[in-house]
Amino acid sequence: MRAVFPGSFDPATSGHLDVARRAAGMFDEVVMCVLTNPAKTGRLPLAERLALLTDMTSDLANVTVDSSLGRLLVDYCREARIDVVVRGVRTPVDLEHELPMAHMNLHLAGIETLLLPADRAHAHISSTLVAETTRH
């Protein structure tokens, strides 16, 4: 079974890597797919994000890296024949954000979503905080 772990990964964090590792143990293949989020201003160029993810996951044989810009995740999943969306959840706010999207993915395309709770060691890390910290 194939899964996709979508995100902006801007920048990728140790929390993202933890979710990718855990998902890799559950699925035959996991695709980390860089998407654009219109609500966020991109900091790193796409090529840099793809290279970073590829480097971070180089020891995970069943994890690949891809991108899909300007289209719905369910369309990407249909074309790539992906069955499951994997998302990490750090806080109740993340859950409130992810749950409606999971319902919509199921409604639109029959694609299930697996929400993985963040490892406590990484739960406080977000791409936004990492970017803000490095900016200063």
Residues placed in the known binding site for substrate: 8, 40, 73, 87
- Is residue 90 annotated as part of the catalytic site, yes or no? yes
How far is the C-alpha of 56 from the C-alpha of 102, rounded, in Å?
26
Report the binding-site residues for ATP: 8-9, 16, 88-90, 98, 122-128
Report the binding-site residues: 8-9, 16, 40, 73, 87-90, 98, 122-128
Q: Which of 2, 14, 16, 68 is catalytic?
A: 16
Q: Which of 2, 22, 78, 90 is catalytic?
A: 90
Q: Which of 2, 49, 127, 135 is catalytic?
A: 127
- Is residue 71 annotated as part of the catalytic site, yes or no? no
Q: Which of 14, 40, 103, 107 is catalytic?
A: 40
Q: Among all residues, which ones are annotated catalytic?
A: 16, 40, 90, 127
